[in-house]
Amino acid sequence: MNRIARKSGLAALALTMSVGLAACGNEADSATEESSSASETTSEEPMEEETPMEEESSDAMGAADGTFGEGCSAIPADGAGSFDGMATEPVATAASANPLLKTLVTAVGEAGLVDTLNSAEGITVFAPTDDAFAEIPKKDLNALLADKEALTAVLTHHVVPETLTPDNLAGTFETLNKDELVVEGEGEMFTADAEEQANIICGNIQTANATVYVIDAVMMP
């Protein structure tokens, strides 16, 4: 009887262990399935789109893009006289903030051309620097500033009533003074007026209503 009891106990113990192992196996399989399901769900989630490099580059570009010439380094990096600042204002107002064009701004005011230039659409202005005006003998410059008719003729000779980009800058153009202006060159090397040889030192500056080419000489009609 004791042997039978011991055998029955061993059999019961073996059955209990078998059931326990089976239960553990089922739990492990269940955990594996849950982990696999979670992994699949994660992989199916849409990835966050990255901003294309082209769009980032486009946002980074400012009004200085497309300008050319060694004189551009003298343009302020920020403020009203910078490329970005000038781009938001009509041309006469924009020029008034540019440190290279103080004499030109004075001349435009003396000639009463501020409103004319600011209200024009799609014009191109060849803007002499202060150094360019300084090349004119002071007595002659003062006389020119005092003669409104002559001053108007000189200043309007520097304005072409159409938009000139670097691609179509070379050629012969009619000015607001109703005479002709010849521009020669290519790439980033241009001169305006064969007689005066006015070099473009900073070109393709954009304002709200005009394209500006800063030159190193005053051109006489």
Per-residue pLDDT of 15-48, as tens digits, reads 444 444 444 444 444 444 444 444 444 444 445 4
Q: What angle do CA 201, 211, 114 make, to 5 degrees?
A: 105
Q: Distances in Å between the alpha carbon of 28 and those of 22, 33, 39, 41?
A: 10, 9, 17, 20
Name the pLDDT band for 62 (thresholds 50, 70, 90): confident
- Residues of the chain above pLDDT 90, percent: 70
The average pLDDT across 180-192 equals 96
Of residues 3 and 160, which shows the higher confidence score?
160
Q: Distances in Å between the alpha carbon of 100 and those of 52, 94, 96, 173, 181?
A: 38, 12, 9, 25, 23
Say how far apart CA 83 and CA 166 lie, in whole Å. 17
Q: How many CA atoms lie within 13 A of 36 on its CB side?
A: 6
Name beta bridge partners: 214: 127, 202
Find out whether 219 and 126 touch, Cβ atoms under 8 Å.
Answer: yes
Question: Among 204, 150, 156, which residue's Cα sits nearest to residue 181?
Answer: 156
Which amino acid, one-letter code, is at 16? T
The average pLDDT across 3-24 equals 43
Say how far apart CA 97 and CA 76 lie, in whole Å. 10
| pLDDT for residue 197 is more than 60 | yes
Instruction: State the average pLDDT for the chain.
Output: 82
Name the pLDDT band for 7 (thresholds 50, 70, 90): very low
Least confident of 59-73, 127-141, 147-161, 177-191: 59-73
